[in-house]
Structure 1
Amino acid sequence: MGLTSNKVLALAVVLAVLLFAGTVWYWPRLAHRNWRAVTGRVGLLFATQLMVFASVGLGANQAFGFYAGWADLFGQENEQGVVVDHGASGASGGPLRVIDTRQVAVPGGARTQDGGEVQQVDIVGRTTHIASPAFVYLPPEYFQPQYRTRTFPAAVVLTGYPGTAEALIKGLHYPQTAHELAKNGRMQPMILVMMRPTVAPPRDTECVDVPGGPQTETFFAKDLPDAVAAHYRVGRRPGSWGVIGDSTGGYCALKLAMHHPDAYAAGAGLSPYYKAPIDPTTGDLFHGNDDLRNRADLFWCLKHLPAPDTSLLVTSSKAGEKDYRSTVRFIQQVQARKLTRISSIILDSGGHNFNTWRREIPAALQWLSGRLSDR
């Protein structure tokens, strides 16, 4: 049974309840001061607390999608895998391969012309040779005969770290939200490419081109749009592409839009930060390269680089987000740049979590849609 299985969570909860009941029942019998009674009390307390923490941890992982499996949890998810490339016609040689399809959890989702479709894909970068899984949401219009020659705008959707792409569907409900907004005429139909920024697990590369390591920024700026455009009917102009993400994904979204306005016309950061951290999960990202270090600091970019012709959206909350003051300062500094446009969603309260981001995603998708074209 997998880490995200409901059966695993249910089993952990049942064991925690049984151990708690057993502790209450047997405690009077273990009230003696001999070594056997003490050992029994310690064992029951330890086992009960272990299962309670396991239940809470599994439940939190189900809700927030921190880890995809046991290997991911224990840091063993480090194999890039072997990708067999297929073109749009199914012949080998393309950078994107569809490996599974699923319905969208919306009314009428059994029919692609009514509910659209989510495709699970493998993507390999032609220039960076980075291989990464993703989920692609195709709106209902993609399958409708009257739109068979139409191209669609596309948005890359990024999780935080460690995060799982599955959480963007089950936890943050991106396909369902996009479907509902388009159905109500609040946004245009868009293709969503949902994935995590962790393309070299378990390392957190912070969307940086690491010297001698994963060229993550180049993958997202060039390889990913090229791979998707080679397989799906998406617009190929910069104005057809946007990027949105939360936490680490939010930082990456802003950086990609600022560094590559020729690739992304708009970037939305939900609860982002503005400078790549260096910690045990990232390792040495820059290897003494001051230019790379500076470019990973968005405040430095605003001060020292030409203003990019792109649109940015940032979100935060006055209570619950530690980066609120940084977000206000970022907004003020972007406002001073002539070409770069800035918008914001500021909540009165909301923590760094899925519930907060679900409150922001509808408005953020609507904003993103208004800044992208389908050509």
Structure 2
Amino acid sequence: MLGGGCEVDESVPYDHRVPSLTGVPIQIIASVLAVAAFAATMWLWPRLGGRNWRAWLGRLGAFFGTQIAVLVAMGLVANSYFGFYSTWSDLLGLDGSPGTVVDHQPGGKAVSVTGEQKMYSSQGSAQDRSGTIQKVEIHGERSGLTGTPAYVYLPPQYFQPAYAGTRFPMLLALSGYPGTPEKLISLLQYPASTLNAIEAKQLPPTVLVMMRPTLVGNRDTECMDVPGGPQAETFFTEDLPKAMSASYRVDDRPEARAVIGDSTGGYCAVKFAVRKPDSYRSAIALSGYYEVHNDPTTGDLFGGSAEVKQDNDLLWRLRNKPAPPVSLLLATSNNEENYPATQQMVAAFKEPTKLSTITLESGGHNFHTWTREIPPALTWLGSRLAQPQPAPAG
């Protein structure tokens, strides 16, 4: 499944002396230990039936030891299935270096690399120094859908006299499913990272919109226009840009709009750019995937149509459809499940599409990994997003 002829970030040699966190051997060992702990507890329980303190401690130790063993075994199996943490260092939060962006040419040759990004902090809390976050509802005129809750971060420049009358570029940040936009603020720290990048002049002053991709209850529509169902893609690609430019001083040109997301949000981000380049000219996917399938959380996404399913397969589109004039950044790691598909995307794209990657040495499907990718992703975006422009006269 690996795409050929492409250069990526150099991987770290795997240490076979340490059992892989997602490997079958450690799951077997943990399961055997859990069964053994349960069996030992059943065998020893009659001997621990006394009323003295030793018997009490023995029963407590047997009970909690068995519970912990079972939970560890279940956790390892679940982690292997979902890919939350790929290595022990990822689980313990020891992988802290940011990712490196690699730009590619058609055929996969890496042509330039940007270095590690420094973190900057802002002093003070006044809106003219650090900006403000507003909780909003966004009503879709054409789709009939409402995005709520949504949060809009207005950078400090939005309130400064020097930028009076200026229209700003917009970045849409999407969570995964079933994520919440509040996590984009608290755990992924998008407003803080955006402000840091603006202060470091790595990103133009930008209005940030933070949302979840789910617009209809808890149904995972994968940001699709579902035949006979919710028109989520129309909301994000048509209604939202129109609402933002009407309600805020946001530039309505497609080159002034970008979208970033993790997991499901990453799939949505790339799909918006590839399918609707007049809506977003830049897209960033953190641990994203590139095709979707029906499951219990989605219901029927395709109305029984193989053509609709294929048309939402992003790898198929890069291979078979005319190349859109957009810039894409795909973030993965050498341990992630989406690594082979990302390599295939690199091998498939054609001009005028521009494609870059971030490939971490290790990382899983989790917030810690994504916080390492967001700062370099914003720097990458800074050279592609249109600068703030004076509002048209009248």
Given the superposition, is the C-alpha separation of residues 109 and 223 from structure 1 closer, same or farther in structure 2, using an over 3 Å criterion? farther
- What are the within-5 Å matches in structure 2 for residues 178-197 of structure 1? 178-197=194-213
Q: Which residue of 2 aligns with 1:156?
A: 172
Q: Which residue of 2 aligns with 1:308?
A: 324
- What are the within-5 Å matches in structure 2 for residues 75-86 of structure 1? none
- What are the within-5 Å matches in structure 2 for residues 1-375 of structure 1? 31-32=48-49, 45=63, 49=67, 107-132=122-147, 133-318=149-334, 320-334=335-349, 337-373=350-386, 374-375=388-389
> Displaced runs of 4+ in structure 1, greater than 4 A?
27-30
RMSD value, Cα = 3.1
In the TM superposition, what is the alpha-carbon distance from 1:45 to its structure 2 partner? 4.4
In the TM superposition, what is the alpha-carbon distance from 1:277 to its structure 2 partner? 2.5
Whole-angstrom CA distance in 1 between matches of 2:178 and 2:376: 25
In the TM superposition, what is the alpha-carbon distance from 1:302 to its structure 2 partner? 1.4
Query: What whole-Å deviation, never above 9, does each CA across 1:115-151 have from its counterpart, x for those lacking one?
Result: 1001111111011111112111110000111101111
In the TM superposition, what is the alpha-carbon distance from 1:163 to its structure 2 partner? 0.6
In the TM superposition, what is the alpha-carbon distance from 1:291 to its structure 2 partner? 2.6
TM-score w.r.t. the length of structure 1 is 0.72
> Which runs of 5 or more residues in structure 1 are unaligned?
1-26, 58-65, 67-105
Whole-angstrom CA distance in 2 between matches of 1:185 and 1:268: 19
In the TM superposition, what is the alpha-carbon distance from 1:303 to its structure 2 partner? 2.3
> Which runs of 5 or more residues in structure 2 are unaligned?
1-43, 76-83, 85-120, 390-394
Is the 8 Å Cα contact of residues 109 and 116 (structure 1) preserved in structure 2? no
Secondary structure in 1 aligned to 2:268? helix
| Number of aligned residue pairs | 295
Given the superposition, is the C-alpha separation of residues 30 and 196 from structure 1 closer, same or farther in structure 2, using an over 3 Å criterion? farther
Which residue type is aligned with residue 312 of structure 1?
L
Which residue type is aligned with residue 273 of structure 1?
Y
Whole-angstrom CA distance in 1 between matches of 2:365 and 2:231: 28
Is the 8 Å Cα contact of residues 250 and 272 (structure 1) preserved in structure 2? yes
Query: What whole-Å deviation, never above 9, does each CA across 1:202-228 have from its counterpart, x for those lacking one?
Result: 111001111121101111110111111
Is the 8 Å Cα contact of residues 187 and 367 (structure 2) preserved in structure 1? yes
In the TM superposition, what is the alpha-carbon distance from 1:369 to its structure 2 partner? 2.3
Is the 8 Å Cα contact of residues 135 and 195 (structure 1) preserved in structure 2? yes
Query: What whole-Å deviation, never above 9, does each CA across 1:256-306 have from its counterpart, x for those lacking one?
Result: 000111110111111111101221111110111233211111111112221
Secondary structure in 1 aligned to 2:166? coil
Query: What whole-Å deviation, never above 9, does each CA across 1:40-80 have from its counterpart, x for those lacking one?
Result: x79x949x959x97xxx9xxxxxxxx9xxxxxxxxxxxxxx
- More relative contact order, 1 or 2 (CA 8 Å, 6+ apart): 2
Secondary structure in 2 aligned to 1:349? coil
Given the superposition, is the C-alpha separation of residues 29 and 345 from structure 1 closer, same or farther in structure 2, using an over 3 Å criterion? same
TM-score w.r.t. the length of structure 2 is 0.69
